[in-house]
Structures are given as structure tokens and as C-alpha cells.
């Protein structure tokens, strides 16, 4: 296993023209399939989480993979942010703009409250729309976002700009 996150790129597979022509998809399944690489990734993420964080917030769906492992490693709870209609209790929701249209995210109303500090986790930061909506959603429940943490950041899309004012940490940059 590599000693630094920059060398973990060997576990990320480029898939050209997926899901549509012109897109080079960053496939994380080889990293997930390698226990040593996945464990090292979670350890690196854990080192970026402050000691005053109360919970990890995972964004559907690949954010659940990294968020659950990270929460378990740190002894914290996992709060899930889901697409509409997936959570069974009362939810708070937010609509946000995509490149071509709109989408919506939901969180249980009782998942967080004032005074909670969280780290939002997802696999990829692209344009930042989903992460920015999650930051707003968490804030509307009264909680504070300590950081947004990603495995991969596509630097050329400048998604970190959508998260202005929030600490952004990414292990791999493309």
C-alpha cells in the first residue's frame, strides 16, 4: 500500500465516456476492493477530522461508504443525507440547482441540532452543488459544518468555490 494519498491514484480507474460521451468517470471500486487501500484512505480522512466533531454526515450514496467507515473509526454517529422519499421520519429538505435542472436532498429533522459540529463526507467534489446544498441543509438544522471531506476533487471544475467559507479537504486531486 502507498504511504501517501497522492500515490493512491493507482486505485482509481478512469472510465472514458461514462455515463455519457466526453465524461471520464473516476471509478473508486478498485480502491474499495482493496482492503489495505480502503483502510489507509479512511485513516487519512480520520486524521483530517477535528476532535470536537460530533457526527459524520454522508451524502447519498457513495458518501455513505466513506462516511460509515469514517464514523466507525472515530466512534461517531453517521447522519445520512438522501434523495427525496428515502427517509422514513419527518425530514427537512432543500432544493438545489444542477447543471441541467434541479434536485432535492433530505435529512431527518431530528438528526442534528444547534451545537452539533459535523464533517460532511462524499467521494467526489465536482461542481460543488450537492455539497453546498448539504452545508445549507445542515445549517438549517442549527448545526455547524467543521469541514467537507472528499476522496477526489476535480480541480478544473472549481467546486471548492461553491463551498466558500467552509474548510474543504480532498485526498486526491485531478
Task: Return averaged pLDDT per consecutive 10 residues of the chain, 174 residues in all.
Answer: 59 95 95 96 97 98 98 98 97 89 95 97 96 97 98 96 97 95
95 noted as active-site residue: no
Question: Residue ranges of the domains in the chain?
Answer: 51-173
Task: Please identify which of the residues 62, 109, 117, 167 carries the catalytic annotation.
Answer: 62
Q: Name the one residue in this structure whose C-alpha cell is 434523495.
A: 83
Q: What is the pLDDT of residue 140?
A: 95
Q: Is residue 117 annotated as a catalytic residue, yes or no?
A: no
Distances (CA, A) of 91 to 60, 119, 133, 141, 168: 15, 20, 15, 10, 26
Parallel, antiparallel, or unpaired: how do β-strands 101-108 and 13-16 relate?
unpaired
- Looking at residue 7, its pLDDT comes to 63
Q: Which residues of 131-146 are buried (b: 16+ CB within 10 A; e: fewer)?
A: bbbbbebbeebebebb
For residue 108, give the 3-state DSSP assignment. Answer: strand
CATH topology of domain 51-173: Rossmann fold (3.40.50)
Q: Name the pTM for this structure.
A: 0.94
CA dist., res. 47 & res. 52, Å (int) = 13
At residue 100, the pLDDT reads 76
Strand order in the sheet with 77-81: 77-81, 55-59, 117-125, 144-153, 168-173
Bridge pairing between strands 55-59 and 24-27: unpaired
- Active-site residue (options: 10, 60, 95, 99): 99
Question: Can you read off the three cell numbers belonging to residue 104?
Answer: 432535492
What cell was used for 2?
502507498
Amino acid at each position: 500500500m502507498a504511504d501517501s494519498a497522492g500515490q493512491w491514484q493507482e486505485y482509481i480507474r478512469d472510465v472514458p465516456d461514462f455515463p455519457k460521451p466526453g465524461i471520464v468517470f473516476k471509478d473508486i471500486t478498485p480502491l474499495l476492493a482493496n482492503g489495505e487501500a480502503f483502510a489507509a484512505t479512511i485513516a487519512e480522512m480520520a486524521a483530517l477530522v477535528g476532535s470536537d466533531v460530533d457526527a459524520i454526515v454522508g451524502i447519498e450514496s457513495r458518501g455513505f461508504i466513506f462516511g460509515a467507515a469514517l464514523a466507525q473509526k472515530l466512534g461517531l454517529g453517521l447522519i445520512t443525507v438522501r434523495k427525496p422519499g428515502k427517509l422514513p421520519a419527518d425530514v427537512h429538505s432543500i432544493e438545489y440547482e444542477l447543471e441541467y435542472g434541479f434536485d432535492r436532498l433530505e435529512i431527518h429533522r431530528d438528526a442534528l441540532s444547534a451545537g452539533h459540529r459535523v464533517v460532511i463526507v462524499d467521494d467526489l467534489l465536482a461542481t460543488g452543488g450537492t455539497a453546498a446544498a448539504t452545508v445549507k441543509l445542515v445549517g438549517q438544522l442549527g448545526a455547524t459544518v467543521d469541514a467537507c471531506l472528499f476522496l477526489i476533487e476535480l480541480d478544473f471544475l472549481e467546486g471548492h468555490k461553491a463551498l466558500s467559507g467552509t474548510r474543504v479537504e480532498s485526498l486526491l486531486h485531478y
